[in-house]
């Protein structure tokens, strides 16, 4: 059996943080990610379902929706959704049934890197 070790996107065993002057950037590794793509003729229905999941309007072109479950627009009839590993480690399994066959959900957690950045205030 292989002995695999989980690593962060930058190759560390724990989320990495760099500070350069007044700026800090750190890896975010506690969120699951899935893409949502509306199937043929289902974009409006998928947008409505996503709105119910987010408890806020689904993001429009270039938009982002913050919250416990987050989403951002990635294309016509397409969104990326993120949620905490604590509640949604298998994010696709957690949400597929809610879309009732109107959307395809694809696991993206290992395909994307997420970072948090901020500037120190003096």
Strand pairing report for 31-38 and 103-107: antiparallel
For 100, the token pair is 């009732």
Q: Nearest to residue 38, comparing CAs of 19, 57, 58, 17?
A: 58
Provide the CATH number for the domain around residue 82.
Answer: 3.30.70.1520
Q: Is residue 80's pLDDT more than 90?
A: yes
Task: Give the pLDDT confidence score for residue 111 in this predicted structure.
Answer: 87
Q: Is residue 2 part of a domain?
A: no
Task: Give the pLDDT confidence score for residue 120 in this predicted structure.
Answer: 74
Strand pairing report for 17-20 and 23-27: antiparallel
> CA 53, 29, 95: angle at the middle one, nearest 5?
25
Structural domain range at position 39: 30-112
For 8, the token pair is 């962060």
Write down the pTM of the prediction.
Answer: 0.85
Task: Give the pLDDT confidence score for residue 5 in this predicted structure.
Answer: 84
* Mean pLDDT value of segment 66-92: 95
Mean pLDDT of the chain: 93
Number of domains the chain is built from: 1
Q: Is residue 122's pLDDT more than 90?
A: no
Q: Is residue 43 part of a domain?
A: yes
Q: Is residue 52 part of a domain?
A: yes
* Mean pLDDT value of segment 73-102: 95
Neighbours of 11 (CB within 10 A): 7
Share of the chain above pLDDT 90, in %: 75
Q: Is 52 helix (H, G, I), strand (E, B) or coil?
A: helix
């Amino acid at each position: 059996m292989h002995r695999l070790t989980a690593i962060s996107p930058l190759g560390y065993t724990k989320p990495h943080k760099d500070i350069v002057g007044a700026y800090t950037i750190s890896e975010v590794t506690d969120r699951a990610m899935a893409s949502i793509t509306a199937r043929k003729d289902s974009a409006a229905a998928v947008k409505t379902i996503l709105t119910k999941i987010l408890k806020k309007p689904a993001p429009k072109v270039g938009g982002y929706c913050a919250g416990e479950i987050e989403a951002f627009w990635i294309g016509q009839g397409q969104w990326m959704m993120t949620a905490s590993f604590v509640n949604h480690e298998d994010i696709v399994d957690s949400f597929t049934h809610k879309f009732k066959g109107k959307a395809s959900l694809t696991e993206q957690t290992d395909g994307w890197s997420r970072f948090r950045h901020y500037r120190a205030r003096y």
